A and B are shown apart, each in its own frame.
Chain A
Amino acid sequence: MGRITLDKVTKRFGDVEVIPPLDLTIEEGEFVVFVGPSGCGKSTLLRLIAGLEDVTGGQIRIDGKDATETPPAKRGLAMVFQSYALYPHMSVRKNIAFPLKMAGMDQAEQKRRIDNAAKVLNLADYIDRRPGQLSGGQRQRVAIGRAIVREPAAFLFDEPLSNLDAALRVGMRLEISELHERLKTTMVYVTHDQVEAMTMADKIVVLRAGHIEQVGSPLELYRAPRNLFVASFIGSPKMNLISGSEAAKRSASTIGIRPEHISVSPTEGLWKGRVGVSEHLGSDTFFYVHDTGLADDITVRVSGEVELRAGDTVYLTPDAEKIHRFDQAGLRLK
């Protein structure tokens, strides 16, 4: 259960084509993340799968059955919203029971499922409270609880962590991953945060302006970005992109090198520059190196602490194996 196929799916709002014809298959049990900058159409795509928007053209199949015209209630999908969308007038228990009540499930089975969800998500302490009395993280759990009790064919998550503070976000990220491990249900997850995408996904779908730029596992995307957009979108800090003579030397229009693939030396190296701002994170140090004669500042990531001050001269050497080459159209060169 839970194979979703998009076949030439198109969405137009008036004259604006938000999603040009798009093909995608989400395999059963897969954790798929749609990632891209805001306005790339990732949320629209999710809402098309949910049935909250009509497709303009194409077909959506769920487990092989055409669901293009099926109303959202009948698609057997559950969704967790960015705002959690809990029913404020119902207790946590009633919130979770709502989809079961709508399905006309008998009381005993309802209770069994709710208790189970409460156990899995640790909701027991506040099961009789209203959403207004809960913290952000607790609300998030309730929203997930409401989704899992239905035992849906697939879960849809629309930027579920963006309203949480940083620490909580990391915790919930783990919990959702663990939930996926346990349930093995298909999950489709939308986010603009590439870190979430990298850490959670089995498969990442990078979107820009409604187009799929690349589909692949997190490491595939990291190791072999298909084009400049994916290259600069995946990875933090961003990949350094260099064009001009340095790129021409390697018979490319643009070359890219990730900050962690550059070694630093005070005495010798390929590129000479001057240290600007440095950011010390303890485990890592980021340097912004000016005046390298290359296009822009070069970001360098070094493990541990390194004693370099602003204004010091440094030499940088990229790891030749890990240089990415792109042609004039921005596509990866083999």
Chain B
Amino acid sequence: MARAVSTRRKLIVTLLAWTIGIAIFFPILWTVLTSFKTEAEAIASPPSLFFFDWTTENYAAVQSRSNYGLHFSNSVIISLGSTLLGLLIAIPAAWSMAFVPGKWTKDILMWMLSTKMLPPVGVLIPIYLMFRDTGLLDSRLGLVIVLTLINLPIIVWMLYTYFKEIPVDILEAARMDGAALWSEIIYVLTPMAVPGIASTLLLNVILAWNEAFWTLNLTAAKAAPLTAFIASYSSPEGLFYAKLSAASTMAIAPILILGWFSQKQLVRGLTFGAVK
């Protein structure tokens, strides 16, 4: 039951919530604004929030100086590739666990989760050496493989929690209607699970896009995604605030938008269904 709240109280809460919300968001806002300033204005004192000469020159400069497009497409290929590959492996696995649970199902799920908790430094050296010896170092394929594997448990888990909500009856009906296993998965299960699969995809693209241990350690130049590219701004280019801001804005904008769309599903995905 929603209770009537006094307008005065509502106004106070509104003021407080907006102040905090804007404060938390401010670094992002500031970055975006700075990206439209000239370098001089970016470090001007006093800094101006909105009233400056808006320019898009930084965006052009970032691309022309650093082959930004390459890193951006690396990010897209690596995050999307690893997620799609992960889904391909995870959908059948989640089908098995959700609809044909056996004695071991729970143990397998827990064990999969436990692999996610393996700290990356525990396996960094062998992976690094194996990649060096097989030529996968600084390759997109290498990163797709690693990110698929580290996000696979999350994908399986998320799909599992979504599949669990689909009534078994409907799959059995398909079987009675003469559908073979593959038809059952393709024509019945997958379309019904589209919302779940979509949010799994979204969350994993976000996680892969922002992954910053393996991408930093396994790439040098040609396969470097945006995480690694931005890290190269550490110094001294980082002192060019406007260009740093432009590069940063481009790196975070797509994922910020995706993230806002998926925020409802985020909690469930990130807590493995422990909080809904």
Contact = CB atoms under 8 A, between A and B. Distances in A.
A79 B167 CA distance: 16
Contact of B188 (A72, A74, A87, A150): A87
B172 A102 contact: no
Contact of A77 (B169, B173, B176, B194): B176
Nearest to B166: A88
Contact of B175 (A72, A83, A156): A72
B178 A85 contact: no
Given A78-B177, A79-B176, A87-B188, 20 more contacts: A52-B172, A72-B172, A72-B175, A72-B176, A73-B175, A73-B178, A73-B179, A83-B169, A85-B167, A85-B169, A85-B172, A87-B173, A87-B174, A87-B192, A89-B192, A89-B194, A90-B191, A98-B177, A102-B183, A150-B177
B221 interface: no
Contact of B170 (A52, A85, A99): A85
Sorting the interface of chain B by its residue count into under 10, 10 to 19, 20 to 34 or 35 or more gives 10 to 19
A82 B169 contact: yes
10 contacts: A78-B176, A81-B173, A82-B169, A85-B170, A85-B172, A86-B173, A87-B192, A89-B192, A98-B187, A102-B178
B167 A73 contact: no
A42 interface: no
Contacts of B130: none
B13 interface: no
B177 A99 contact: yes
A65 to B, nearest CB: 17
Nearest to B180: A73
A199 to B, nearest CB: 25
Interface string B172-210: 111111111001000110011010000000000000000
A252 B5 CA distance: 73
Sorting the interface of chain A by its residue count into under 10, 10 to 19, 20 to 34 or 35 or more gives 20 to 34
A50 interface: yes
A113 interface: no
B213 to A, nearest CB: 39
A146 interface: yes
Contact of A85 (B173, B179, B194): B173
A156 B178 CA distance: 15
A99 B177 CA distance: 4
A103 interface: yes
Contacts of B175: 52, 71-73
Q: Tell me which of B167, B170, B177 has the highest count of chain A C-beta atoms within 10 A of its own C-beta.
A: B177
A77 B169 CA distance: 16
Interface of A: 50, 52, 71-74, 77-79, 81-83, 85-90, 98-99, 102-103, 146, 150, 156
A88 B179 CA distance: 16
A81 B178 contact: no
A77 B173 CA distance: 11
Nearest to B188: A87
Nearest to A149: B177
Contacts of B179: 73, 98, 102
A156 to B, nearest CB: 8
Contacts of A74: 178
Contacts of A82: 169
Contacts of A81: 169, 172-173
A259 B191 CA distance: 54
Contacts of A79: 172-173, 176
Contacts of B191: 87, 89-90
A99 B178 contact: yes
Interface string B147-182: 000000000000000000001011011111111100
A106 B172 CA distance: 24
Contacts of A88: 170, 192
B172 A98 contact: no
Contacts of A156: 176
Contacts of B188: 87
A103 B178 contact: yes
Contacts of B187: 98
Q: Tell me which of B174, B183, B191 has the highest count of chain A C-beta atoms within 10 A of its own C-beta.
A: B174
A81 B168 CA distance: 11
B178 to A, nearest CB: 4
Contacts of A103: 178
A139 to B, nearest CB: 12
Nearest to A81: B169
B176 A50 contact: yes
A72 B176 CA distance: 5
Q: Tell me which of A79, A99, A102, A103 has the highest count of chain B C-beta atoms within 10 A of its own C-beta.
A: A102
B170 A87 contact: yes
Contacts of A89: 191-192, 194
Top 7 closest A-B pairs, CB basis?
Answer: A99-B177, A85-B173, A85-B169, A102-B178, A89-B191, A73-B178, A79-B176
